[in-house]
């Protein structure tokens, strides 16, 4: 596997340097230790055991990826029969569809929406554990990993919405978290995709990233982590491997940045998440992604643009017919699309200034819920998530579809 080809010379040095921040390493150990693969899908492992009806589906993207989708409903509602409107959940970077089912049925959004009568569809992007590879490529091929969030927006989201649309004959509510919002914003600028969407709820919404405050991430950007990984011949970013030790070493700046609370140094201080459940979360997270995706995200941080992937001047001319990659124009998102957002004052990835920039460029006037204490992960894992925001989101969805009786 590509990720294991660390130069043998580097490894002892890195291990020696890591001695000084034991906390980080304990986390790494746990992540690697939990790297077993699961038999059966997400339904079988996480959703059915909680008493919910769940069926596995697969859809294929235009560029050949086979994406796993799970259809979930409260066991008291028969699947497909008089169920409420479909809602599609789009997870964040290094996460999978499991992210929506990590806590109790009263806390986690996937369960909560099913409890409220929604026909819940769980998205799993290309490369993640609950997706099913590619029609002709294997995950050992470098071509398999030749994509970023741009392809997730234009191909994955398109394929999932088309599939749900055909099964339910209904427009789809979309909920995204973090990377799930980046792909939503990009996809909603495309008329053929946005036409399938009823309304969107965006948790920690991101289209601009140039005011990111995460010192950990900024360290990695400034040290050009992506170039170092490229030189190592890495295409797949699998954090359940020893490569994570290098990344943490770089991100924590050799101990200069206090990484004793790893999660907080990456995402910002999370007010409401239950830290005694981390071991359980790590059984599922993190999921793989591509190095190209990380490169694209770092481009956004460096340039402050919301644009297609930057291949460099020459290749851009060949690919796009212009020296700079075309931007995704947020004003192209139809004014008629109802949008709800929730963002946090402690979110080190979704900064308030960047969220305001996004809102300013939209033609519509989205409903915005600001949660001062929330960090990036609280939007998924807060123990108070229902009272703080999901209740509000559901009221919003209901107001978009007054005619329906759900
Ligand atoms: C979940 O919420 C319901 C209704 O509000 C309540 O009756 C039940 O006790 C809660 N369950 C848990 C495990 O908190
Ligand atoms: C935190 O998680 C632990 C372990 O799962 C659980 O026993 C406890 O009830 C949780 N606390 C809250 C406030 O949800």
Q: What pLDDT, in 10s, does the model give residues 363-401?
A: 999 999 999 999 999 999 999 999 999 999 999 999 997
Q: What is the DSSP letter of 102?
A: S
Give yes or no: residues 242 and 359 share one domain.
Answer: no
Over residues 130-177, the pLDDT tens digits come to: 999 999 999 999 999 999 999 999 999 999 999 999 999 999 999 999
Compute the distance from residue 80 Cα to the ligand 1 centre, in Å. Answer: 25
Give yes or no: residues 395 and 322 share one domain.
Answer: yes
pLDDT at 2: 34
Radius of gyration, CA atoms only, the chain: 20
The answer to whether residue 406 sits within a structural domain is no
Compute the distance from residue 108 Cα to the ligand 2 centre, in Å. Answer: 13
CB-based contact 97:126 (threshold 8 Å): no
Give yes or no: residues 234 and 190 share one domain.
Answer: no
Give yes or no: residues 14 and 159 share one domain.
Answer: no
Over residues 235-256, the pLDDT tens digits come to: 998 877 767 777 877 788 777 7
CB-based contact 371:384 (threshold 8 Å): no
pLDDT at 186: 98
pLDDT at 202: 98
Phi, psi of 312 (to 5 degrees): 95, 155
Query: Sign of the CA dihedral 246, 250, 254, 258?
Result: negative
Give yes or no: residues 175 and 152 share one domain.
Answer: yes
Give yes or no: residues 42 and 170 share one domain.
Answer: yes
Beta bridge partners of 339: 200
CB-based contact 379:344 (threshold 8 Å): yes
pLDDT at 5: 36
Phi, psi of 94 (to 5 degrees): 60, 20
Give yes or no: residues 232 and 147 share one domain.
Answer: no
The answer for residues whose C-beta is within 8 angstroms of residue 227's C-beta and 6 or more apart is: none
Measured from the Cα of 106, ligand 1's closest atom is: 1
CB-based contact 316:309 (threshold 8 Å): no
Closest CA to 376 of 88, 24, 93, 29: 93
Q: What is the DSSP letter of 307?
A: B
Catalytic site residue 177? Answer: no
Distance CA 216, CA 242 (A): 18
Q: And the tokens for 9?
A: 């010379």
Helices (H) and strands (E) in the chain, counts: 19, 10
What mean pLDDT is predicted for residues 188-196? 98
Out of 178, 204, 265, 290, pick the active-site residue: 178
Residue 262 three-state SS: helix
What mean pLDDT is predicted for residues 358-362? 97
Give yes or no: residues 153 and 26 share one domain.
Answer: no
pLDDT at 405: 45
Is a pLDDT exceeding 80 seen at residue 33?
no
The answer to whether residue 144 sits within a structural domain is yes
Distance CA 47, CA 296 (A): 33
pLDDT at 82: 56
The answer for residues whose C-beta is within 8 angstroms of residue 317's C-beta and 6 or more apart is: 323
CB-based contact 3:238 (threshold 8 Å): yes
Catalytic site residue 376? Answer: yes
Task: Give the confidence band of 330 by pLDDT, cuts at 50, 70, 90.
Answer: very high
Measured from the Cα of 274, ligand 2's closest atom is: 1
Alpha helices, DSSP H only, in 210-282?
215-222, 225-231, 243-251, 262-267, 278-282
Give yes or no: residues 315 and 366 share one domain.
Answer: yes
CB-based contact 158:193 (threshold 8 Å): yes
Torsion of CA 182, 120, 269, 273, to 10 degrees: -170
Catalytic site residue 235? Answer: no
Distance CA 164, CA 37 (A): 28
Q: And the tokens for 308?
A: 């297609």
For residue 229, give its domain range.
Answer: 1-33+214-253
Query: Sign of the CA dihedral 74, 75, 76, 77?
Result: positive
**Residue finishing a domain among 253, 277, 305:** 253
Residue in 270, 276, 283, 384 to alter for ligand 2 test, most ligand atoms within 8 A of Cβ = 276
* Cβ < 6 A, ligand 2 pocket: 274, 276-277, 383
* Cβ < 6 A, ligand 1 pocket: 104, 106
Over residues 273-285, the pLDDT tens digits come to: 888 888 888 888 8
**Residue finishing a domain among 253, 282, 314:** 253
The answer to whether residue 24 sits within a structural domain is yes
Closest CA to 341 of 199, 217, 141: 199
**Residue finishing a domain among 196, 225, 253:** 253
What average pLDDT does the chain have?
Answer: 87
Q: What is the DSSP letter of 45?
A: I
How many folded domains does the chain comprise?
A: 2
Secondary structure (DSSP) of 121-170: EEE--TTSTTS--BSS--TTSGGGG---HHHIIIIIHHHHHHHHHHHHSS
Task: Give the confidence band of 20 by pLDDT, cuts at 50, 70, 90.
Answer: very low
Give yes or no: residues 237 and 378 share one domain.
Answer: no
CATH of the domain at 180: 3.40.50.1820
Give yes or no: residues 246 and 372 share one domain.
Answer: no
Compute the distance from residue 275 Cα to the ligand 2 centre, in Å. Answer: 9
Q: And the tokens for 362?
A: 């939209």
Nearest CA to ligand 1 atom 6: 106
The answer to whether residue 263 sits within a structural domain is no
What mean pLDDT is predicted for residues 104-131? 95
Give yes or no: residues 304 and 345 share one domain.
Answer: yes
The answer to whether residue 405 sits within a structural domain is no
């Amino acid at each position: 596997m590509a990720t294991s080809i660390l130069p043998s010379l580097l490894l002892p040095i890195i291990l020696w340097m890591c001695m000084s921040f034991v906390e980080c390493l304990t986390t790494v150990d746990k992540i690697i230790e939990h790297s077993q693969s699961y038999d059966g899908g997400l339904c079988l492992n996480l959703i059915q055991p909680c008493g919910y009806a769940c069926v596995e589906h697969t859809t294929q993207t235009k560029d050949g990826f086979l994406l796993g989708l799970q259809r979930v409903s409260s066991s008291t509602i028969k699947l497909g029969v008089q169920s409420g409107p479909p809602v599609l959940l789009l997870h964040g970077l290094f996460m999978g569809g499991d992210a929506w089912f990590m806590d109790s049925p009263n806390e986690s959004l996937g369960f909560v929406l099913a409890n409220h009568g929604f026909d819940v569809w769980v998205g799993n992007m290309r490369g993640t554990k609950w997706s099913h590879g590619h029609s002709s490529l294997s995950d050992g091929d470098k071509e398999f990993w030749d994509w970023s969030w741009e392809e997730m927006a234009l191909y994955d989201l398109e394929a999932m919405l088309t599939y749900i649309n055909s099964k339910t004959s209904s427009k789809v509510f979309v909920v995204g978290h973090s990377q799930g919002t980046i792909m939503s914003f990009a996809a909603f600028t495309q008329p053929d995709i946005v036409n399938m969407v009823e309304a969107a709820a965006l948790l920690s919404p991101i289209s601009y990233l140039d005011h990111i405050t995460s010192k950990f991430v900024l360290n990695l950007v400034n040290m050009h982590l992506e170039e170092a990984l490229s030189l190592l011949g890495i295409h797949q970013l699998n954090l359940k491997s020893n490569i994570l030790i290098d990344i943490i070493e770089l991100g924590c700046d050799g101990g200069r940045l206090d990484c004793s609370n790893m999660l907080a140094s990456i995402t910002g201080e999370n007010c409401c998440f239950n830290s005694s459940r981390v071991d359980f979360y790590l059984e599922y997270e993190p999921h793989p992604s591509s190095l190209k995706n990380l490169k694209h995200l770092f481009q956004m941080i460096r340039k402050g643009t919301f644009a297609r992937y930057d291949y460099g001047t020459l290749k851009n001319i060949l690919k796009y017919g212009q020296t700079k990659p075309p931007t995704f124009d947020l004003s192209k998102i139809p004014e008629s699309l109802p949008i709800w957002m929730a963002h946090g004052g402690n979110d080190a990835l979704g900064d308030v200034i960047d969220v305001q920039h996004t809102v300013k460029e939209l033609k519509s006037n989205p409903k915005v819920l600001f949660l001062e204490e929330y960090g990036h992960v609280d939007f998924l894992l807060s123990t108070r998530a229902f009272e703080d925001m999901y209740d509000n989101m559901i009221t919003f969805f209901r107001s978009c579809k007054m005619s329906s009786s759900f």
